[in-house]
Structure 1
C-alpha cells in the first residue's frame, strides 16, 4: 500500500473489528484486502505496535486515544 494514512486508517478499523468481534484474524485480514494473514499482521504491527492477536488478547490496551480514528477520517477526506 502506498499511502501510509490509508494503511493507518484501515489498521485502526481492523483493530476495532478485532475488539468488537470474535472473527478470526484471517477473516478480518481478508476484509481489509489482505489475502495473506502474515502480511496483514506485519502491516498491523507497523501501525499499532503489536500483532493482531496480542492486540486482541490485551483488549486493545494500546488502542489509540479517543477521537484519533475520527481525525484520520477527516484527514483522508
Structure 2
C-alpha cells in the first residue's frame, strides 16, 4: 500500500525491518514539502465574479464568469 504511493521509493532500514525516523527527521521532511508546495502555487490573475474569455478548448472564445478559484 505505502510503496504504491507516488514519490515513495522505499523504507529507511533493511528490506525486512524498517527503522523509525526521529521526530527531527520527520519535521525536516515536512518543512521541505511545505516549501515546495508554496513554490508551486500558481499565480491567479483573476477574481471571483470577473468576466473572462476562454482561450483554449471546447469553449474557446466564449465568455464566462469566474465562480470559484481552486488553486
TM-score (ref. length: structure 2) = 0.25
Structure number, greater radius of gyration: 2
More helix by proportion, 1 or 2? 1
Higher relative contact order, chain-length normalized (CA < 8 Å, sep 6+): 1
More strand by proportion, 1 or 2? 2
